Amino acid sequence: MENLKVNLDNLHDYIPKNVFAGYKEKAIEANKILKDKTGEGNDFLGWLDLPNEINPQHISEINNTVQLLKDEVEVVVVVGIGGSYLGAKAVIEAISGSFDVFKKERDFPLIVFAGQTLCEDYMADLMRFLNDKKFAIVVISKSGTTTEPAIAFRLLREKLEEKDGKEIAGKRIIAITDMEKGALRKLSENEGYKTFIIPDDVGGRYSVLTPVGLLPIAFAGYNIQEFVKGAVDMEKHLNEYGFDHNPALLYAAARNALYNFGRNTEILVSYTPKLFYISEWWKQLYGESEGKENKGIFPASVNFTTDLHSMGQYIQEGLRNIFETVITVAKPQHKIIVPADNDDLDGLNYLAGKRIDEVNKMAELGTLMAHLDGGVPNIKIEIPEINEYYVGQLVYFFEYACALSGYILGVNPFDQPGVEAYKKNMFRLLKKPGY
* C-alpha dihedral sign at 102, 103, 104, 107: negative
Strand, coil or helix: what is 329?
A: strand
Of the residues 104, 105, 167, 309, which is catalytic?
Answer: 309
Reference 397, options 410, 382, 387; nearest CA is 382
Quote the CA–CA distance of 113 and 80 in Å, as a whole number: 8
Contacts of 62 (CB under 8 A, 6+ apart): 196, 211, 214, 215, 218, 224
Of the residues 245, 295, 423, 432, which is catalytic?
Answer: 423
134 is catalytic: no
Quote the CA–CA distance of 184 and 125 in Å, as a whole number: 25
274 residue type, one letter: K
Measured in whole angstroms, how far is the alpha carbon of residue 353 from the centre of its chain?
36
Where are the alpha helices (H) located in 165-223, listed in sequence order? Answer: 166-171, 183-191, 211-219
- The four Cα atoms 222, 226, 379, 8 give a dihedral, to 10 degrees, of -170
CA 302 vs CA 275, 309, 415: distances in Å: 10, 11, 27
Strand, coil or helix: what is 164?
A: helix
288 is catalytic: yes
Instruction: At 265, give phi and psi (nearest 5°).
Output: -130, 125
CA 18 vs CA 248, 257, 312: distances in Å: 20, 11, 32
- The four Cα atoms 204, 114, 281, 147 give a dihedral, to 10 degrees, of -50
26 is catalytic: no
DSSP secondary-structure letter at 98? T
Quote the CA–CA distance of 270 and 376 in Å, as a whole number: 16
Instruction: At 238, give phi and psi (nearest 5°).
Output: -70, -25
Mutual angle of helices 388-409 and 247-260, in 10-degree steps: 40
DSSP secondary-structure letter at 188? H
Of the residues 288, 290, 324, 399, which is catalytic?
Answer: 288
Active site residues: 288, 309, 423
